[in-house]
Amino acid sequence: MLMKECHAVENIWGKKRAYASMAFLIDVIPGAVMGAVFAQLSLLAMPLKLGGGGGYEERIQNNTFHEELVLVGPGVGGVRGVDDRVWGVRGVQGERGEDVCVVCNVPPFKAMGEVLVKIAREMGSAKVLR
């Protein structure tokens, strides 16, 4: 962006005014400082990157990074069929006419929201306890 700005000023006012003005320094100094700060942050994060293993996507695929949902309601035992991202379904079957309590694992964040929307559409009477 700085190069585009400099070329535009250079075309109008010439090279001397484009690169010897205070406006150029006002744009260059914060860029250099931010570049140095981000380089330091990258160096500080290097041990974590090297020793931490895979990233977020790999953890989701390995099912090591997940949230637990506790669902209560009639027919929530079939929650596994709602979405293929739901796994580890375990539950307590209630007596005849009682609600069923189910604990299942789902991916976190946005994917969990998508799964919750599908559960709400399929099982409107289900309640999420946790």
Total domain count for the chain?
A: 2
Host domain of residue 104: 58-128
pLDDT tens-digit map of 29-73? 988 999 999 999 999 988 887 876 555 555 555 556 788 888 888
Residues 93 and 38 in one domain: no
Give the chain's mean pLDDT. 81
Residues 83 and 108 in one domain: yes
Do residues 90 and 68 lie in contact, with contact meaning Cβ atoms separated by under 8 Å? no
Residues 113 and 76 in one domain: yes
Type of residue found at 8: A
Residues 101 and 45 in one domain: no
Exposed / middle / buried, residue 59 (Cβ in 10 Å: 0-12, 13-18, 19+): middle
Question: What is the CB-side half-sphere exposure of residue 97 using CA atoms within 13 A?
Answer: 0
Q: Last residue of some domain: 12, 34, 51?
A: 51
What is residue 108's DSSP assignment? Answer: -
pLDDT tens-digit map of 103-113? 888 888 888 88
CA-CA distance, 24 to 17, in Å (whole number)?
Answer: 9
